[in-house]
Amino acid sequence: MNTMKTIKIEHIWSDKNDRWMHIEYNEQHKICGMSFMQGDEYEIFKTKYAENDPGLFEFYETMLYTFPIESKSVNTIEFINKVMWAYCQADQIRAKY
């Protein structure tokens, strides 16, 4: 369990991916939490989605470990967006079957 405090929170709009992202950073300036919402309704995002999603964050950490070359080949936000798309697609496929 990570006992470091969250010291910084960013809300980032990704026009290309049509989503708001919530990114948390710890005392070592490492990402320690994240969530997102599809669409541009910032007020809804702030009230319903602007907190850590533990499942998404664990998936992100797994993707960093599983795909280190891919994570280094693009900037951090672009990699996070790829992880978010994979997370959504995996969830939809799992629900389908």
Whether 1 maps to a domain, the answer reads: no
pLDDT tens across 70-97, in order? Answer: 999 999 999 999 999 999 999 999 999 9
Whether pLDDT at 1 is above 70: no
Whether 22 maps to a domain, the answer reads: yes
CA distance 46 to 88: 20
Please name which of 56, 48, 58 lies closest in space to residue 2, comparing C-alpha atoms. 58
CA triple 79-81-87, angle to 5 deg: 105
Structural domain span for residue 26: 6-96
Domain count across the chain: 1
Q: Name the residue with tokens 């795909």.
A: 67
Q: Mean of the per-residue pLDDT values for the chain? A: 95
Whether 30 maps to a domain, the answer reads: yes
